[in-house]
Chain A
């Protein structure tokens, strides 16, 4: 979208603040990684809070975590890893300028994302039914485990997985917007693989967070 009024010797598709295409692409990559650094620190706080409390309450957390549905967590992990693969393939197709392949893979990623949310909502609804959502309605039956610490565990669990879920939803919005733009040959993405790569980076990051969330919450050792 070069729209300089006066003479332009730039190739098509290079924005006016950049001189060359390489410069533009490298700049977008650096910008995206800088943004991912902020996301690392964003989730990092929750991981830190979790680490602090687990350090203190390891055995209690072990007891409480048995309430979590390992099967659903495992399924979600597989779904997310697979969607990461399809996203990487989508980026690859974008790099090779293969529109159909790219759209297929983006669609597959979206399916994975939706699947993740479906499984997650099943998990959450089971938790709500058992009154394990922290707050005034929280109920904990097991007398050997202090209810307050159980509530703490669930606060951390819902904060971390909830934030992750929000990022999945944002990912869905962004990926579907990308798919629509690609399908319509919009100049922003036509022939340019960088937007896909940037969104791919975001989606892989979402997967990364889950790679750590899953063992930390679902696989607490005794």
Chain B
């Protein structure tokens, strides 16, 4: 048990002090990457290229933007937030957080495999026009207006 002698002021020594140069370099990298992201996103407007203005170009742009964002995030995490020098536990938790966030995308197993355009079963309501029931007890019968008969559905 490593107690220091009593009444000695604690040596609040920091294990790893990041040098200013590293922080400034990281900052420069972040700004540069931001500029690149904006440039790639605006490319379709200014570059008269087939590629950039097509569907593949759009996917490519998405990919590039996300990759750059991930790289920026890594810079912030590793250098600004000190994960580069962090303990294993802390790094595990950081990884776990992002992995779990990605796990939520399992939901695409649903949204990617079915046609989920909400089917209109009623006419679009004007805001505020839906009758709101005020007051307390009521008979055990339906309270909201019935939907219009099927024949008026405009179709999917």
Contact = CB atoms under 8 A, between A and B. Distances in A.
Does more than half of chain B's interface fall in helix, strand or loop, or is it mixed? helix
A191 B14 CA distance: 11
Contact of B89 (A30, A52, A136): A30
Nearest to A53: B111
A208 B9 contact: no
Given A52-B107, A92-B18, A191-B10, A211 B3 contact: no
Contact of A221 (B4, B58, B68, B98): B58
A20 B27 CA distance: 35
B10 A14 contact: yes
Contacts of B97: 36-37, 40-41
Interface residues of B, number: 64
Number of chain A interface residues as a range = 35 or more
A138 to B, nearest CB: 8
Interface string B68-94: 110011001101111000110110011
B66 A13 contact: no
B46 interface: no
A207 B10 contact: no
Contacts of A20: 1-3
A95 B81 CA distance: 14
A56 B111 contact: yes
A191 B81 contact: no
B104 A48 contact: yes
Nearest to B62: A221
Given A11-B10, A26-B87, A82-B27, A33 B94 contact: yes
Contacts of B9: 11-13, 191
Nearest to B60: A221
Interface of A: 8-14, 19-22, 25-26, 29-30, 33-34, 36-37, 40-41, 44-45, 47-48, 51-52, 55-56, 58, 70, 74, 77-78, 81-82, 84-85, 87-89, 92, 95-97, 135-136, 138, 148, 191-194, 197, 200-201, 204-205, 207-208, 211-212, 214-216, 219-222
27 contacts: A9-B6, A12-B7, A12-B10, A19-B1, A20-B2, A30-B93, A41-B97, A41-B100, A48-B101, A48-B107, A51-B108, A52-B108, A55-B112, A77-B34, A87-B80, A88-B79, A89-B20, A92-B20, A194-B12, A197-B82, A204-B76, A204-B81, A212-B69, A215-B37, A219-B37, A222-B58, A222-B61
